[in-house]
Structure 1
Amino acid sequence: MAKKFAPRQLTLSVGILVICILIAVALSSWKETPEKEREPDPVPLVDSIILEPQSLQLTINSQGVVSPSIETTMVSEVSGVVKSVSTAFVSGGVFKKGDVLARIDDSDYQVSLSQAEASLAASTARLQEESARAEAEKKSWLKSGKKLDAAPALLLRTPYVAEARANVKAAEAQLRKAQRDLERTQIKAPYDGMVKERTLNLGQFVMAGSQAGSIFSVDKAEIRLPVKSSDLAFIAMPAPVKLTQRFGLQEVKWNAELTRAEGVVDDRSRMHYVVAEVTDPYGLNATIPQTPLKSGSFAQAAITGKSLDGLFRLPRNAIYGDGKVLIIDENSTVQFRSINLIYSDNTAVFVNGGLKSGDRICLTPLSLPIEGMKVRIKGELLTAETIDRPDAA
């Protein structure tokens, strides 16, 4: 019985196998053939600029603290009780040259002046008396028929006259001292200025040499500005300086002038220092009210440097670490070119060597640039005026 059904089972198995093969072939034909990935273009796309010579008015930026051109510590030159204090002798008070800021009780100094005047009067009278006696003795000696050269000095009262004359000189010196001491009871301003602080008060006893206060001049202010040694070569004095301070949303500017360079270099920062002067920083003589440039405040400074011609301006990202740029020739291949850097700011560098007008510079940084490699220039060529635009690419 088994032998009878063997061919039928074989036929059935072969049929099932054929059906499976057909299904597998059909399924495989329905699968889409994947697209072949597009190979990247081996020629990089770059931005470029055609060089044109430019003139550059250099500006050196710095910052510093405003200080008065003259600051003085006032002291009492005599001892005594402070009798009066000027209303201007307070912090921030403004005064003129010669104004009396404080007075010390001068009663004792008036007495000393009277005594000196009396002493001078007595010494002068004594000199006149001795001079008259000497003249009388001289006439008597000559009447006797003797020569004046043979007369003894004591007889002619020469030593007494000299002593009286010396006493007069001493009395005159004492009188001048008494007059100066009396004048020094008034503490006067030596120049037009402003009070920084006052340390004496009404009724206080002060000794000679005691500090009375601190004042400073207001005709000029100074600001000490650090500059790099490389920038110092581009500064010619005198040079205009623009000072800027910001008060919230308000920005205030003052005109200043660079007047001198200090003769030393900071031993820690290795910076050079130049000094700018501002006239009338508090605006006391201005016809239009202005914001004062206060002593001790911080200000930004823009120093107008020398004017240079024939420079080429490049963005910083066009410079490679070894001080070279990539030139794109007429065959759209790149070549390295060494440059001579003259000046740089926050966005660009300026060169005057190694390049010429009409050279095309590659602006796109390349990771592994090789001389002779091909590049493609992106869109319209940029110009020197557009290299800082964010949409330049």
Structure 2
Amino acid sequence: MKQAPLQWMVTVAAILVFIAVAWMIVNSMREGARVPVVIESHPVQYPDVSVVRAKAGTHGAVVRAYGAVSPRFSLDLTAEISGLVESLGEDCEPGKRVAKGTLLVSVEDSEYRSAVALAQKELADSRIALLEEEGRSRQAEAEWSSSDLQGAPDSELVLRAPQLAAALAAVASAEAALAKAGRELERTEIRAPFDAIVVERSIAPGSYLQSGSQIAVLYSTDRADIRIHLASEEWAMLPESRVVNSGLWPVQVWHAQSGEAWDGRILRLEQHANSHTRQRALIVAVDAPLDREPPLLAGSFVNMVIPGVELGNLWCLPPSSLSQNGEIWYVTEDQLLRSFDSNIIFSDDKGIYIAAPESLAGEEQQILVRPLSSYVQGMKVNPVEVKGHE
């Protein structure tokens, strides 16, 4: 019974503490309500885009092309006479270089020497017959002049004119036969018709040749030709025909795989269009291809760069500036994205060249370096200029 006042006092104290705590919490909430709430503000962040500054100007056009190297002359060397192959020249081997006039093949010639000797005899006999007939003709003329007959004889046979003509024709025929026999004898020694390399040999000692039999394949070495076909817009970038046909317009040629380079020149323009492609061909020449370092071999596949004329109103841009859809994206003064359709006019080591629209050609523009497919017209961006492109 004595503990009841103590418990009551503890209960009252707890209630007083609770009331005090509650009062402090309410008071704190009221104070907090009177303090203004500070809201932090952040500027709107727009996506960064990499741009280069471009201004339309005049640039020297470049035409890029490709083609296969071929010799100026490719010859299937054939026999003009028949006979047994007696021997081959030392240089009649595939891969060997031969000068014009080099002996390649010797054909057994006894039959042809005999034919020359026989033709010489027949020519000598016909000349003797002609001399005899000339003597008879002079005698016939003298006899007719000493006769009392007036005027010309009734027949040409009297003065032996037909016989003399036949004797003259026999001499001419014998001379032609001797010349033919001499040419056939010369052809028993088959020589290179021009400076060449032996690509293929088709005979061996002991082979029997018929007229027309293939002996070897020869490629000339004085010049290599490369035939290329250009589209109409590429022709428009070349200088006028008389300049190109001068044979002095330079061309840079390099191997498609190794990158080895040679100096060439435009040799000529063909004066007709291909019946299948409707394109006109241009011939590029590399002189003395095998004497270059390294040599330019026939059959190689090469790329070419042909300098063209000066073209105006062009932007020089990084290759990545042209989107997959063939669009060029740029940033306006209001930092908005805009684009237009375009094509590459030409390209070189500096970049690609694009025709600038008239509305943008006058001032320097900010061109996107790597446009993304997610970009949309009018999108606001933050342009960031990049360096390193001229």
Specify the TM-score bucket, using the shorter chain as the normaliser. 0.7 to 0.9
User: Given the alignment, which residue of 292, 312, 316 partners 1:313?
Assistant: 316
* Change in 2 beyond 3 A, CA 1:365/1:74: closer
Q: In the alignment, what sits opposite 1:260?
A: 268
User: Please, which of 209, 218, 243 is the counterpart of residue 253 of structure 2?
Assistant: 243
Structure 1, unaligned stretches of length 5 or more?
1-14, 26-35, 389-393
Q: 2: distance between equivalents of 1:340 and 1:245?
A: 27
Contact kept in structure 2, 1:342 and 1:352, CA below 8 Å: no
1:10 match: none
Q: Which residue of 2 aligns with 1:202?
A: 205
- Residue 310 of structure 1 deviates from its aligned partner by 4.2
1:221 alignment counterpart? 224
Give the structure 1 partner of residue 89 of structure 2. 86
Q: Secondary structure at the match of 2:152?
A: helix
Deviations 1:89-147 (A, max 9, x none): 11111111122211111111111111111111111111111111111111111112333
346-355 vs 213-222, which deviates more? 346-355
Q: Does 1:377 align with 2:388?
A: no
Separation of aligned partners in 2, 1:180 and 1:227: 46
Q: Is the 8 A contact 2:133 2:164 kept in 1?
A: yes
Match of 1:140 in 2: 143
1:282 to 290, 302, 320: 290
Distance 1:161 1:357, change over 3 A: same
Q: Which residue of 1 aligns with 2:108?
A: 105
Match of 1:328 among 323, 332, 347: 332
What CA distance in whole angstroms lies between the structure 2 residues aligned with 1:267 and 1:158? 63
Aligned Cα RMSD in Å?
3.5
TM value normalised by structure 1: 0.75
**1:215-264 deviation line (CA, Å, top 9, x unaligned):** 1110101123354443332234353222223787xx42211112234544
Contact 1:328–1:362 under 8 Å retained in 2: no
Select between 86-95 and 37-46 the one with higher mean Cα deviation. Answer: 37-46
Q: What SS does structure 1 have at the residue aligned with 2:127?
A: helix
Q: Which runs of 5+ in 2 are unaligned?
A: 1-14, 26-38
Q: Which whole-Å CA distance do the structure 1 matches of 2:40 and 2:84 have between them?
A: 100
Who is 2:166 aligned against? 163
Kindly provide the CA deviation profile for residues 318-375 of structure 1, in whole angstroms up to 9, marking residues without a partner as x.
556475644512x44455667686435695332144222423234163735344x644
2: CA distance between counterparts of 1:362 and 1:300? 30
Residue 125 of structure 1 aligns to a residue in which SS? helix
Deviates more, 1:295-304 or 1:118-127: 295-304
1:356 and 2:361 are equivalent in the alignment: yes
Q: Deviations over 1:259-297 (max 9, x none)?
A: 2345444847x87643211101110xx7xxx22111122
Rounded Cα–Cα distance in structure 1 between residues aligned with 2:189 and 2:354 = 61
**The residue matched to 1:230 in structure 2 has which SS?**
helix
Residue 175 to residue 54, structure 1, CA distance change in 2 (3 Å): same
Distance 1:205 1:374 in 2: 86
Q: State the shift of 1:376 in Å.
A: 3.2
Contact 2:68–2:302 (CA under 8 A) maintained in structure 1: yes
Note closer, same or farther for the CA distance 1:98–1:370 as it changes in structure 2 (3 Å cut): closer
1:369 maps to amino acid = V
Task: Give the distance between the partners of 2:279 and 2:153, measured in 1 at CA.
Answer: 80
